[in-house]
Amino acid sequence: MTIGPDEIIDMNSALERCEGYITLGMLDEAREELRSVPKELRTTFPYMATCMNLCLHFHWWDEGAELGRNLVLRWPGNHEVRAATVHCMLKAGRELDGILLMRGIDAGAPHDAEEEDDQGDRDLPDSDMDWRHRR
């Protein structure tokens, strides 16, 4: 499917209707509007932000924490997304993740394994036997 201006306008209209249904607490209708968005547009910020709002409104804290973490990774400069994600993490009982994210650290973010070996564990022993002899 080719995405053009008409599909984007249709998505924006569906997301607007979805937001209205969310506000009214109409979960099934909100989900139907989300399902009407073409799969190719489901990774856009407006779509994902609307999903985040759904999680917040219906108190789906675990889902909101994971979705929000992905949003923060993709759009790290968006402070509203970061705040919503922290909120979900705290409500989901993931206080440490939320606190770290508030400070700009994402403990669940992917990282380079070579950098971890070279940088992250310089003071940790390579085995149980050499921890006392490490310089």
Q: Kindly state whether residue 119 falls inside one of the protein's structural domains.
A: no
Query: Residue 106: helix, strand or coil by DSSP?
Result: coil
Would you say residue 99 lies in a domain? Answer: yes
Please give the structure tokens belonging to residue 36. 């009407």
pLDDT tens digits, residue range 40-95? 999 999 999 999 999 999 999 999 999 999 999 999 889 999 999 999 999 999 99
- Domain hosting residue 81, numbered range: 59-108
Condensed to tens digits (0 to 9), the pLDDT of residues 17-42 reads: 999 999 999 999 999 999 999 999 99
Give residue 3's Cα distance to chain centre. Answer: 24
Of the candidates 132, 23, 47, 102, the one whose C-alpha atom is nearest the C-alpha of residue 94 is 102
Q: Are residues 65 and 94 in the same domain?
A: yes
Helix (H, G, I), strand (E, B) or coil at 120: helix
Both 98 and 64 in a single domain? yes
The number of folded domains in the chain is 2
- Domain assignment of residue 101, yes or no: yes
pTM of the prediction?
Answer: 0.73
Structure tokens at 19: 């937001």
DSSP of 37-89: S-GGGTTSHHHHHHHHHHHHHTT-HHHHHHHHHHHHHH-TT-HHHHHHHHHHH
* 3/132 Cα distance (integer angstroms): 61
Inside any domain, residue 118: no
47 within a domain of the structure (yes/no): no
Mean pLDDT of the chain: 83
- Is 5 among the domain residues? yes
